[in-house]
Structure formats: C-alpha cells, structure tokens
Amino acid sequence: MGTDKKQEVHTHKIGIYLWIWGLLFVFSFFSYMVDYLDFQGLLRWTLIVFFMLAKAGFIMAIFMHLYWERWAIVNVLLWPMTLIGVFIAIMVAESYYTFFTRLFYFVAGG
C-alpha cells in the first residue's frame, strides 16, 4: 500500500485505523496491568518501555502517516531524536554522581 499513487497515499481503508486503534487499547491495558499486578524490577521496566515504544511507533507510523511518507522527511524527523538518547546517557552519569555526593556529604557526613 502507498507506494504508487498520491491518492492512495492519503486515504486508506478504515480497517487499518480500527486495527491500530484496537491495538493501542490493548497495549494501554497491558501497561496498566503492569502497575495493577505490581510487577517490579527489570520485568516492570522492560514491559513499560516495550508497550510505550510499541504505542508510540504505531501512532507515528499509522495515525501520523509516517509509514507512507517519503524517506526524506522520515529521516529528517527521526535522526535528531537519537540525540535524546545521548542526553539521557549524559544525565544518568550526572545524576549518579549527584547521588553519590549527596550520600557522601548528607548521610556519611563528608
């Protein structure tokens, strides 16, 4: 779908929207269940991140039509977001350092 004519790029059968809509409900329900069933530790984080990325991916690809856009705009939009990952890595290191100094001075007393 969506590789040839402009008209086809813009209107899609209603089925795909309803499918994605349903999937989003299911994923949201599952991620709520992660909290409801009180999963902890690595399992909790993995499930939360998995359902989050799945939802975000479906919303961007289908609802926001990125799947049918040309690669030029898709790449220009998605590559800058990798910088967010770099920023996260920097701030993880920074916050561990802050945590350590707080323990050192507040709790251990310097």
Partner 1 sequence: MGQFDISKLPQGAKGFTHDLGSDQRVFKGVPWGKSMMWIFLLSDTFIFSCFLISLMTARASTVVPWPPTSQVFGLTVFGTSVPLLLIAIMTFVLITSSGTMALAVKYGYEKNRKLCGWFLVATALGGLTFVGMQAFEWSKLIFHDGVRPWSNPFGAEQFGSFFFMITGFHGTHVSIGVIFLFIFARKTFRGDFDTGRKGFFTSMKSDYEAIEILGLYWHFVDLVWVFIFAFFYLW
Which is nearer to partner 1, 71 or 110 (by Cβ)? 71
d(CA 103, CA 84): 28
12 touches partner 1 (CB under 8 A): yes
- Interacting positions 22-61 with partner 1 (CB under 8 A): 24-25, 28, 31-32, 34-36, 38, 44-45, 48-49, 51-52, 55-56, 59-60
Which is nearer to partner 1, 76 or 109 (by Cβ)? 76
Handedness of CA 91, 97, 103, 105 (dihedral sign): negative
**CA neighbor of 30 nearest in space, from 57, 48, 53, 11:** 48
Q: Least distance (Å) from partner 1 to the CB of residue 10? A: 4
Q: Least distance (Å) from partner 1 to the CB of residue 89? A: 10
Altogether, the residues listed in the chain come to a count of: 110
- Interacting positions 50-109 with partner 1 (CB under 8 A): 51-52, 55-56, 59-60, 62-65, 69-73, 75-77, 80-81, 84, 87-88, 91-92, 94-96, 98-99, 102-103, 106-107
Helix and strand element counts for the chain (H, E): 5, 0
